[in-house]
Homo-oligomer: A and B are copies of this chain.
Amino acid sequence: MTAHRLGIVGYGNLGRGVELAVSLQEDMELVGVFTRRDPSTLTTALEDTAVRSMDALESMPGEIDVLVLCGGSKSDLPAQTPQLAARFTVVDSFDTHARIPEHYAAVDAAAREAGTTALISTGWDPGLFSINRLFGEAILASGDTYTFWGRGLSQGHSDAVRRVDGVAGAVQYTIPSEDAIARVRAGERPELSTREKHVRECFVVLEEGADAEAVREEIVTMPHYFEPYDTTVHFITAEELARDHRGAPHGGFVIRSGESSPGTTQTIEYHPQEESNPEFTASVLVAYARAAARLAATGEHGARTPFDVAPGLLSPKSPEQLRAELL
Q: Hey, which bits of chain A sit against chain B, CB under 8 A? A: 17, 20-21, 24-26, 45, 97, 100-101, 104, 121, 126, 128, 130-131, 133-135, 137-142, 185, 260-261, 264-276, 279-280, 282-284, 286-287, 290, 305-312, 314-316, 319-320, 322-324, 326-327
Contact = CB atoms under 8 A, between A and B. Distances in A.
A6 to B, nearest CB: 14
Q: Which 10 A-B pairs have the closest CB atoms?
A: A307-B312, A260-B279, A138-B314, A24-B141, A269-B271, A138-B287, A138-B315, A130-B327, A20-B261, A126-B327
8 contacts: A100-B327, A137-B326, A138-B314, A139-B287, A141-B283, A268-B271, A271-B271, A307-B322
B260 A311 contact: no
B327 A97 contact: yes
B314 A135 contact: yes
Contacts of A314: 134-135, 138-139
A308 B312 contact: yes
Contacts of A319: 307-308
Contact of A306 (B260, B274, B311, B320): B311
A270 B26 CA distance: 26
Contacts of A305: 323, 327
This chain's copy number in the assembly: 2
B17 A311 contact: no
Nearest to A137: B315
B260 A315 contact: no
Given A265-B275, A268-B273, 7 more contacts: A100-B323, A126-B327, A134-B311, A138-B290, A141-B283, A269-B271, A308-B310
A135 B139 contact: no
Contact of A283 (B101, B266, B267, B306): B266
A314 B306 CA distance: 13
A286 B134 CA distance: 14
Given A21-B260, A260-B20, A282-B260, A101 B308 contact: no
B135 A128 contact: yes
